Amino acid sequence: MPSSDPYHLSKPPDSHVDESDSDLEIDLEELDPQAADPKNHQQSSGQHHGRDSSEQRPPPPTSIALRNLRMGSLRRGAKRNGYGELGRSRDGNDEDADALLRHDRHSVGSATHDEDAGLLSEHGGGGRTRTSSGRRRRSFASDGLRNISMKLPGFMSGDQSNHNEEQEQEEDDPSSSRLVAVGSSQSTRFPPNIISNAKYTAWSFLPVTLYNEFSFFFNMYFLLVALSQAIPALRIGYLSTYVAPLAFVLFITLAKEAYDDIERRRRDNEANSEEYTVLQFEDPGASLGINQPRRKMKSSHTRKGSKRLGIEQENDRLSDIQEEEEQTEGRGIRKLPASYLSEISKKSRDLKVGDVLKLTKGHRVPADVIILKCLAHDSAANKEAEEEEIPAREEMLLLDHVDDDNVGEGSSKNAKSTRENDNNGAEGSSSGETFIRTDQLDGETDWKLRLASPLSQNLSTEELVRLRVTAGKPDKRVNEFVGTLELLPSRQDVMSGAAYNPREGDDVKAAPLSIDNTAWANTVIASNATALAVIVYTGPQTRSALSTSPSRSKTGLLEYEINSLTKILCFLTLFLSIVLVALEGFSTAKGNIWYVKIMRFLVLFSTIVPISLRVNLDLGKSVYSWFIQRDPGIPGAVVRTSTIPEDLGRIEYLLSDKTGTLTQNEMEMKKIHVGTVSYANEAMDEVATYVKQGFNLSSSASSASLALATPSSTYSAANVGATRTRREIGSRVRDVVLALALCHNVTPTSEEDENGQTVNSYQASSPDEIAIVKWTESVGLRLAHRDRKNIVLESAETGRPVVKVRILDIFPFTSEGKRMGIIVQFYEKLQPGNPSLGSSEIWFYQKGADTVMSSIVAANDWLDEETANMAREGLRTLVVGRKRLSLKEYQEFSAKHHEASLAISGREANMQAVVSQYLEHNLELLGVTGVEDKLQKDVKPSLELLRNAGIKIWMLTGDKVETARCVAVSSKLVARGQYIHTIAKLRRKDGAQDNLDLLRSKTDSCLLIDGESLAMYLTHFRREFISVAVLLPTVVACRCSPTQKAEVAKLIKEYTKKRVCCIGDGGNDVSMIQAADVGVGIVGKEGRQASLAADFSIEQFHHLTKLLVWHGRNSYKRSAKLAQFVIHRGLIIAVCQTMYSIALKFEPEGLYKDWLMVGYATVYTAFPVLSLVLDKDVDEDLANLYPELYKELTSGSSLSYRTFFVWVFVSIYQGCLIQGLSQVLTGIDGPRMLAVSYTVLVLNELLMVAIEITTWHWVMVVSIVGTFLMYIVSIPFLGDYFDLKFVLTLGFLWRVAAIAAISLIPTYAAKVIRRTMKPPSYRKVQGI
């Protein structure tokens, strides 16, 4: 086992030729018992030959010790064969190893080979042979009498590992369990460790996007129209007139989708390129050349330098003695480690199942792993511990020399046990524990304790390749895992990929694995330690990936509404075509077939369904996305799905995560109440003064340096001149601070910051406890040391220890008990060892939730009131109490508790009953603490603004019920005085129905429900639950799994048909974000998974208000106006065509052909119409001041059937007037009529855009004026269509002006009258 450093780079032997430690090489000199002289050995312990012929030797003993026979050769060859180096490293003290070159175990007589392995020296083939774990090494004499069968050397039998790597791997079956060889290549191919939020692959992009496009009715309509032009009888004008616009629309849409997906892949690539340190295990004797850059692992001895020289010499001597003892037990000579170590750096995407990761504090876990070893960092304490071990080693060596000639079994065992104890205690001063943060996985704020299996923790790092993990099939349950860890004799056995059949003498060990040994992907290492972990699940098979629904293409509500309107327009087109043919009569004469004429009319009227609508809307979406990403008020905002910005203006339900979204997951002690007085904010300085007085022990006494404070002596140093009331308050404050400093599960740690300075920090499963311990440090009482037996508190000012206690019992916090307790015995002075039980005070301290502690503490008149006051402020309250125990009471309790702990059935209940009977009654109430979970910036005003905007807010979290309640209150999600109805641990259906009935009668209350109850409702009362829940202003669901979050989002969408927005920051929120109509991700501290999977990414929760209330509102109103205007533009030209066909006696002849048709929809009207995306009815300040303006949009009034038919009526009116008057004033047919009609049509559209603009922008002015001038300039080039001479006359001008005035003035007048009689809301707030 390692002594100080967890691992180092093992070095291969210097030579394979000169080795002489085999039983085949025995000097005659070794047979001389005088060679075993202890004095002589001491003199030559570090040298190659240590015999001095001139030295007088003692008389020989009656027998020759076996170790002298064997170890003589080892000592002589120490420098040649490298054992001295191995002895100094001590990394492979007593582990079994693989051969330098592996041999084929399946060859004939392999069993005999294994048994006779001791006979083969390193001369044969240059490689060491492998012996199984725990097998007795045979002497030369016994081995020589056996049949010797030679084994082929490694270079002839081939390297097994290379063969395994080259052979084709089997495909992984995700429905079966898996065998994972630690640190080696796998016999099964597993999926790569890749994060992917992309919606398409290279193969699926075109089929999926084209399917999505043509699933919209108007795209399919235009495809049919374009295909119809391939039929000569239906062709009108150029084929390109119909095909080119459709192709352009599809190109724009596909290009935008491709860009969005490429951006997702680029960001995924950033996450997949994160570097991780992986341990490389090389076979002994294998080539050390590795293509990838690697870093040798430093030995602790190298780091410690010359100061460690003496220790190294002792280690070297100790290694020799340990080898002797192993020989005495018949375990054989020390062998090479199973592998040599090096570190390489791998990208996250290159990690594979079986890789051993080296993870340190703050590292995000890239895949699902099993923790093998937890290693504490070097510290001063570790060095002191090492130095303390030296005398013990010296004593052991001395004893060994004295008893050299009569070594017995007993002394051997004692030496072995001492050595094992040394090793077990020296594993980097670590007990195999680490903490992880899982808030990115399940939303819980508490840190989770994770343990390395003792089987792997107590194994040297080089020997980890002998481990094999058996794990179950991939599963999305994050709180369950069952597996097995096996230690096999060799690496080849591990890599065989099959169930291992132990041979005789093999020592195969196995240990169970549970959830406590795991760290899932997207969790974060929280402890200041190094964890070595093996990957068992990668990529799509990780828990977080399985809990995440696949990415889907999202389509905005506006798209569906426009799709419905185009169906009406298409029906109108068909109706018009049939009417016009019917008015002429259904003729079947040759060249005048009625159904052909209907088809031609359908083609002519195809402009009613404007294909340019998609182009304009898509360009508008791009503009909105550009505005969002460049808004200085939302720094860091990213639009990942640019197809749904309008939906930001239609949100009615907001589902929010808690941890990291509404809160910072940073706890802070805000208030403490001690019965008669409450302290908060600046008043904490007074608490510090009381603590300083209470623990300022007198320095005049001779034993001042050893004196410690106890609860009874604490008050002696108080200010004698103070009033009695102040003294009482001071004693209360000191008591509660002492209780808080002792009653917890916090461990102090130290680490180096970037500047190399030592920084003290704390680690615990609960951030609440860390906040309280940090607070006690801030008021003067610091937690200096904590282990399983003792707690030491020191003065934060002087650094002098003031309190030391012995931990007698701990009762940890449970979700059922909601309290934790500790029994401690106080030291009265600093002294080595533990005080006897009767020599000093024994106290029981307990803290817990007010709901359980109120019945435990003594009667009082202030607890309920103060806890209610703190709860109203959103603080997490803890009630603190204590009780002094006599020796008799404690002994009686301890005996009963121990007896209850041995019960087979009902153990937990019996133990709790004993605690309740002896401890949990009439506790002295010390005080109440209030801890605040810090909210994100501006969360309270943001939630209030969103509520005023008509958005119902649900909080879905994986955290505890109490935590969720406190955050709901502190964030003002729940209004002051609002009734909170809690449903928790619901298991019966009748109770579920009763709760729903109660909520129906109280629709102004808040519902607080846990995951277990929610699962019952979603399973048995799905419809009834959601019908009640959507009526409530606020719903808080806690203990939710990622799948439940997504299910709630889908349920709201299905039942209400409203737009749902989900916002979160962790990997556990991805499913919910992808299930929502609009997913918003916050860039979290530890991960960007939610941000990568979201449609919109922001950095702070309060940015959401601007995203919805400003950008969402503008996007929706602008797109609604743009869509209706494009429909108007297409409908008016269809009306003109209808009027022209009627004048031609219902002949399907085109009015505007070729360039006139294309130019009208592009050059002459496109830019002014598109400039409407810059329009805004109110400025940003008014939008935030009156969020009710947003509430109006949820009804969809900006684009409804009513507004649509108003625009249809306007289009019919203007089209009839423009074409009718043009025909009346200039004649039915001819270039003059065409010139007047087309010019008025273009001018009408430009002026209509100007009428519709609410707030002018310089781009609008330029586009309108510029387009009109462009049309004027292009008229000379339209000689094929217009009578250019007529265009230059005054008759042309007055006709154009008259027709335009008659078309526009009534329209504008109606708009002004309506705005005056019934002004819209934005007009009202502008007038305030």
For the record, the structure tokens of 207 come out as 């089929």
- Return the H-helix or E-strand segment holding 223: helix 217-228
Catalytic residue among 657, 768, 850, 1065: 657
In the chain, helix, strand, coil percent, each to 5? 50, 15, 35
Residue 753, H or E segment: none
846-875 b/e (C-beta count within 10 Å ≥ 16 → b): bbbbbeebbebbeeeeebeebbebbbebbb
Cβ atoms of 695 and 796 within 8 Å: the answer is: no
Q: Which strands sit side by side in the sheet containing 275-282, from one edge to the other?
A: 294-295, 340-347, 275-282, 356-359, 529-537, 368-376, 518-519
> The sheet that has 790-795: what strands, in order across it?
678-680, 663-673, 924-935, 876-885, 842-848, 819-826, 801-811, 790-795, 781-786
**Neighbour tally for 362: CB within 10 Å:** 12
Nearest partner of 650 among 1042, 1314, 1119, judged by Cα: 1119
User: How far, CA to CA in Å, does 265 sit from each of 259, 260, 765, 1304?
Assistant: 10, 9, 36, 51
d(CA 174, CA 179): 12
Instruction: Find, among 1081, 1115, 1073, the residue nearest to 1101 by Cα.
Output: 1081
Among 284, 273, 414, residue whose Cα is nearest residue 348 = 273
Known active-site residue 1280: no
Whole-angstrom distance, CA of residue 101 vs CA of residue 679? 71
Using CA atoms, how far residue 715 sits from 659, 692, 710, 752, 777, in Å, is 42, 11, 9, 37, 19
Helix ranges, 77-124 (H): 78-81, 83-89, 110-115
Q: What phi and psi values does residue 1013 have, to the nearest 5 degrees?
A: -70, -40
| Residues 341, 345, 347: CA angle, nearest 5 degrees | 140
Vertex 1272: Cα angle to 1266 and 1274 (nearest 5): 100
Distance CA 114, CA 129 (A): 9
- Residue 1093: which of 261, 491, 434 has the closest Cα? 261
Strands (E), 473-546: 483-487, 509-513, 518-519, 524-525, 529-537
Look at residue 1244 and give its three-state secondary structure: helix
Tell me whether strands 275-282 and 356-359 are parallel, antiparallel or unpaired: antiparallel
Q: Indicate the SS3 state at residue 191.
A: coil
262, two tokens: 């490429």
For residue 902, count CB atoms less than 10 angstroms from its CB and return exposed for 0-12, middle for 13-18, buried for 19 or more: exposed
Give the Cα separation of 646 and 1117 in Å (integer).
8
Is residue 945 within 8 A of residue 953, CB to CB? The reply is no
- The DSSP call for residue 128 is P
Q: What tokens were used for 777?
A: 């440090």
Query: For the residues of 626-637, what is the DSSP string, one character each?
Result: HHHHT-TTSTT-
Number of neighbouring beta carbons within 10 Å of residue 1259: 13
Q: How far apart are CA 628 and CA 638, in angstroms?
A: 8
Side by side, which strands form the sheet with 1006-1010? 638-639, 1096-1098, 1078-1082, 1059-1064, 651-656, 952-956, 1034-1038, 1006-1010, 980-983
Active site residues: 657
